[in-house]
Amino acid sequence: MDEKIKCKIVEDLLPNYIEKLTSKETNEFIENHIKECDSCKNILDNMKKDVKVEEKKENKKQVNYIKKYNKKLKVLKGIAFIVLAIVAILLIHTFRNLIIIKDLSNKANSMKNITNYYAKTESNQGMKTQFYVKDNVYLLTLENHTPDGLRKLTRYKKDGVSNTYIETETEEGLKKVAILNSSEMPTVQGLSNWFDEGSFGQLFLMSFFSIIRKNDLNGKECYKIYYLTSPSILYDESNRFEVYLEKDTGLLLRQQNGKMMDENGVYKPIITNYEYKYNIVKDDDLKEPDINEYEITNN
């Protein structure tokens, strides 16, 4: 066979030879030829160098890709760790608050069994209520001091029926009106559970959005709960509460809600304080107003 033809055949076979795709007999033919042909041997050597260069480039690409992948993976792992840490902290915060809220709620519910107590509320808006309870007899007094004068409401309830007595200061003098035989309950429940209106879902959200700290108010241990939404208006962002609940009883000691403008035009928080006394109410404290002093109405 002509040497030029052999060289041409070998040159065509060399790529497959380098990739080890040729048969044993073909390999012997190529190897015997390059032993005698320096030209084909040089072509083979150059091809091998090119292959090595390409392999290095490919390996470098793979190494760079792996490095970038590992770097991204580390970043993602870091983000995932941070997210999990935040979620864990929020869950701990929420369940810690929920445990405190449920405990306060249970204690407040147990206080409802007391049948003899006195409760008073007083706000810096001029509102004052006093609530007397003794063996299913109730007496509520509510005083509201306004620029127009004093308005006082007294509600007396016994045997399931309540009478309401209203005194209003007018330009003509003191107007006194009585509404008899009403089945309404007193407007203020003294030993009430602040959380009664909330479902478990609402209490859970409340626990999530609230900040609860131990505090002391007038010598009593309590929990201060702020940025807290009232259960009945949970989704109304304009109503945010700051409350103090007594640790031992779960009862409300102070509530701050909203703002008011004072006589100097300065906005100040609206604050209501609560006071409770137990087993001190006597029959003399539950005297119904003299109906003969009032104008009777059915409205």
| Beta-strand relationship, 241-246 and 252-261 | antiparallel
Burial class (CB in 10 A: 0-12, 13-18, 19+), 228: buried
Q: What is the largest CA-CA distance in the chain?
A: 143
Long-range contact set of residues 92-97: C-beta below 8 Å, sequence gap at least 24: 93/208, 94/204, 94/207, 94/208, 95/207, 96/212, 97/206, 97/207, 97/208, 97/210, 97/212
* pLDDT value of residue 120: 94
Q: Identify the top-confidence range among 30-39, 155-164, 276-285.
A: 276-285
Q: Name the band, by pLDDT with cuts 50, 70 and 90, for residue 169.
A: confident
**How far apart (Å, rounded) are the C-alpha atoms in residues 260 and 271?**
10
- Distances from the Cα of 232 to the Cαs of 189, 207, 225, 226, 256, in angstroms? 16, 15, 16, 16, 16
Note whether 193 and 108 are within 8 A (CB): yes
Q: Report d(CA 241, CA 225) in Å as an integer.
A: 8
**Contact (Cβ atoms closer than 8 angstroms) between residue 175 and residue 167:** yes
In the predicted model, is pLDDT for residue 227 greater than 70? no
Confidence of residue 8 (pLDDT cuts 50, 70, 90): confident
Confidence tier at 71 by pLDDT (50, 70, 90): confident
- Judged against a pLDDT cut of 90, whether residue 32 lies above it is answered with no
pLDDT value at residue 234: 46
The domain ranges of the chain are 116-297
pLDDT of the residue at 160: 79
Confidence band of 278 (pLDDT split at 50, 70, 90)? very high
Question: At residue 150, what are phi and psi to the nearest 5 degrees?
Answer: -95, 135
Which among 231, 256, 230, 229 has a CA at the least distance from the CA of 243?
Answer: 256
Instruction: Identify the CA nearest to 276 among candidates 297, 248, 243.
Output: 248
With bands split at pLDDT 50, 70 and 90, how would you rate the model's confidence at 85?
A: very high
- For residues 273 and 117, give the distance between their C-alpha atoms in angstroms, rounded to a whole number: 17
Evaluate if residue 266 carries a pLDDT over 80.
no
Give the residue among 117, 114, 96 at the shortest CA–CA distance from 285.
117
pLDDT band at 102 (very low <50, low <70, confident <90, very high): very high
209: which 2 tokens?
A: 């959005």
Mean pLDDT (whole number) for 98-116 = 92
Closest Cα to residue 3, out of 15, 11, 13? 11
Spell 278-287 as b/e; 16+ CB within 10 A means b.
Answer: eeebeeeebe
pLDDT of residue 231 exceeding 60, the answer is no
Say if residues 134 and 286 touch (Cβ distance below 8 Å): yes
pLDDT tier at 235 (50, 70, 90 boundaries)?
A: very low
Q: What is the pLDDT of residue 92?
A: 95
Higher per-residue pLDDT: 7 or 271: 271
What percent of the chain clears pLDDT 70, i.e. is strictly above it? 81
For the structural domain made of 116-297, what CATH number should be given? 2.50.20
Q: Which of 183-192, 207-216, 258-267, 272-281 has the lowest mean pLDDT?
A: 183-192
pLDDT value for 202? 82
pLDDT of 13 higher than 80 = no
Mean pLDDT of the chain: 82
Q: Classify strands 127-134 and 220-228 as parallel, antiparallel or unpaired.
A: unpaired
Give the whole-angstrom CA distance, residue 61 versus residue 55: 10
- Model's pTM, two decimal places? 0.68
The b-or-e profile of 77-87 (16+ CB within 10 A means b, else e) is: eeeeeeeeeee
Over residues 137-163, the pLDDT tens digits come to 999 999 887 666 778 899 999 887 889
- 122, 128 in Cβ contact below 8 A? yes
